[in-house]
């Protein structure tokens, strides 16, 4: 039994070290890139999401694709922010067999500036990738008819509830002047974050962790694409052997790997972002995250191709490998080892704190234990607070330490995804939206500084 515990302890130590190294490397890389560009963590912290075309240069033709399935609750405002400008932008609303008034609302808000691409059953509802590919074929046709240069044409994928930050295009379009850049992914904010703890925590994850680590990945040009606020260069998509968007549950990640395999760069910018609705129900959040995990985990099958591909430098291949292996090497093992570690801590608490011989030693010991145990939580708390000073520091502190409990969300979703993979299940449930009565940002919990 002692040998078993020794082996398990060694594995636990390895997983803890892997996760800590990956987390710290990703976060520090992101902050380093921000500092190098002369940008602070607070950038975009109090931005509005109403006029993405403010100060936009007319250097690229932009086609916007919005896949929709029963999105009447949110599609109107999204379309309105994309067509209410003097810029020549074509917005395509892909109505994937909706049973509500999605198409009608899109036409009313967009008028002649919007194309509603209606998909009928049984061809409809076959997955987001299929819907995007049909709109992509339409875009290719329009580009040819209009005599536009594919090198100067961008495709923007938006969720039906997505809205770009003010002046977003003025920061994004110049990035594509680099001929090696095939895609740009924006950081995400949760618009209804003040609704409940779940929505706050989603914003905490997106704004304090995902966004900052993505800034770091820009150094290697391996930024991961998402389904909302995703820009791609048409000529890069045309060079692909197959249709751009696959039938994967995370077709955006799959596209990112494909573009990187062809030698392109994927990047981001701290000066623009996209906001969206957070899920207010725990059940819906689990369903969404389980789907993300499943897509992420199945993308691991492409690792052999990545390492055989000469378009990947060692740094790019290593970074992408680490990202793809997170569910397999960290989340799944830690879901078991966390409880083993907790058990050992309880039964060995006496020996661990045997050095405590008085009040001073107790304070020092507990402080050191806390700093070592909660270092990632403390760091993320500070980052989130600096990203948006309107948020109370105490709320940031609670959200940072909530990872101890919210880890169970990751555990449940990772194991649920693995179960679906083993059973060969690839279907997905549609994310349901909430009707929004006003679009004002959450009321600040602390004065802006």
* pLDDT tens figures, 289-343: 999 999 999 999 999 999 999 999 999 999 999 999 999 999 999 999 988 888 8
Residue scoring higher pLDDT (126 or 276): 276
Task: Please give the average per-residue pLDDT across 45-57, as a whole number.
Answer: 92
Query: pLDDT at residue 440 above 60?
Result: no
Burial class (CB in 10 A: 0-12, 13-18, 19+), 64: buried
pLDDT in tens, 209-245: 999 999 999 999 999 999 899 999 999 999 998 999 9
pLDDT of residue 4: 79
Question: Which pTM was predicted?
Answer: 0.92
- Residue written as token pair 């999105």: 71
Q: pLDDT band for position 434 (50/70/90)?
A: confident
The conformation of residue 444, written as its DSSP 8-state character, comes to P
Separation of alpha carbons 434 and 190, rounded Å: 13
Task: Please give the average per-residue pLDDT across 38-49, as a whole number.
Answer: 93
pLDDT of residue 1: 64
295 half-sphere exposure, CB direction, 13 A CA radius: 26
Separation of alpha carbons 135 and 138, rounded Å: 5
Separation of alpha carbons 392 and 444, rounded Å: 8
Q: pLDDT band for position 86 (50/70/90)?
A: low
Structural domain count, the chain: 1
Q: pLDDT band for position 279 (50/70/90)?
A: very high
Cβ neighbours of residue 325 closer than 8 Å, sequence gap 6 or more: 300, 303
Which domain does 393 fall in, by range? 1-449
184 forms beta bridges with 231, 267
Cβ neighbours of residue 91 closer than 8 Å, sequence gap 6 or more: 63, 64, 66, 79, 82, 83, 110, 113, 114, 115
Residue scoring higher pLDDT (10 or 271): 271
The CATH number given to whatever domain includes residue 19 is 3.90.550.10
pLDDT in tens, 351-379: 777 777 788 888 888 888 888 888 889 99
Task: Please give the average per-residue pLDDT across 398-409, as a whole number.
Answer: 92
Pairing mode, strands 153-157 and 230-233: antiparallel
pLDDT of residue 444: 40
Taking alpha carbons only, the member of 254, 221, 225 closest to residue 240 is 254
What is the percent of the chain where pLDDT is above 90? 75
């Amino acid at each position: 039994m002692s040998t078993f515990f020794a082996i398990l302890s060694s594995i636990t130590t390895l997983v803890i070290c892997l996760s800590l190294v990956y987390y710290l490397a990703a976060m520090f890389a992101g902050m380093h890139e921000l500092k190098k560009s002369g940008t602070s963590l607070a950038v975009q912290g109090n931005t509005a999401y109403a006029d993405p075309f403010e100060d936009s240069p007319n250097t690229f033709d932009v086609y916007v694709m919005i896949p929709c399935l029963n999105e009447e609750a949110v599609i109107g405002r999204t379309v309105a922010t994309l067509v209410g400008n003097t810029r020549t932008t074509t917005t395509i609303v892909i109505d994937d067999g909706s049973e509500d008034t999605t198409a009608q609302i899109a036409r009313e808000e967009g008028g002649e500036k919007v194309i509603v691409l209606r998909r009928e059953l049984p061809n409809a509802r076959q997955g987001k990738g299929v819907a995007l590919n049909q709109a992509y074929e339409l875009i290719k046709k329009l580009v040819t008819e209009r005599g536009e240069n594919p090198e100067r044409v961008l495709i923007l994928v938006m969720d039906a509830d997505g809205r770009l930050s003010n002046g977003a295009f003025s920061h994004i379009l110049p990035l594509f002047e680099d001929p090696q850049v095939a895609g740009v992914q924006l950081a995400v904010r949760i618009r209804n974050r003040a609704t409940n703890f779940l929505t706050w925590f989603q914003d905490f994850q997106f704004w304090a962790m995902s966004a900052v680590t993505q800034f770091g990945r820009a150094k290697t040009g391996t930024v991961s694409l998402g389904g909302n606020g995703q820009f791609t260069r048409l000529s890069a998509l045309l060079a692909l052997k197959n249709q751009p968007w696959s039938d994967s549950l995370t077709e955006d990640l799959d596209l990112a790997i494909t573009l990187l395999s062809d030698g392109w760069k994927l990047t981001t910018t701290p000066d623009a972002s996209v906001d969206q609705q957070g899920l207010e129900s725990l059940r819906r959040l689990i369903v969404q995250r389980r789907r993300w995990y499943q897509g992420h985990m199945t993308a691991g099958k492409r690792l052999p191709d990545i390492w055989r591909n000469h378009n990947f430098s060692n740094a790019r291949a290593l970074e992408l490998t680490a990202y793809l292996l997170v569910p397999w090497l960290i989340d799944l093992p830690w879901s078991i080892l966390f409880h083993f570690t907790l058990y050992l801590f309880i039964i060995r608490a006496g020996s661990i704190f045997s050095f405590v011989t008085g009040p001073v030693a107790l304070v020092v010991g507990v402080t050191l234990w806390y700093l070592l145990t909660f270092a990632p939580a403390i760091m993320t708390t500070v980052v989130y607070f600096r990203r948006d000073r309107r948020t109370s520091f105490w709320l940031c502190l609670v959200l940072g330490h909530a990872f101890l409990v919210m880890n169970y969300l990751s555990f449940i979703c990772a194991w649920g995804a693995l179960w679906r993979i083993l059973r060969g299940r690839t279907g997905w449930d549609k994310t349901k939206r909430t009707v929004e009565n006003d679009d004002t940002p959450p009321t600040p919990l602390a004065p802006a500084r």
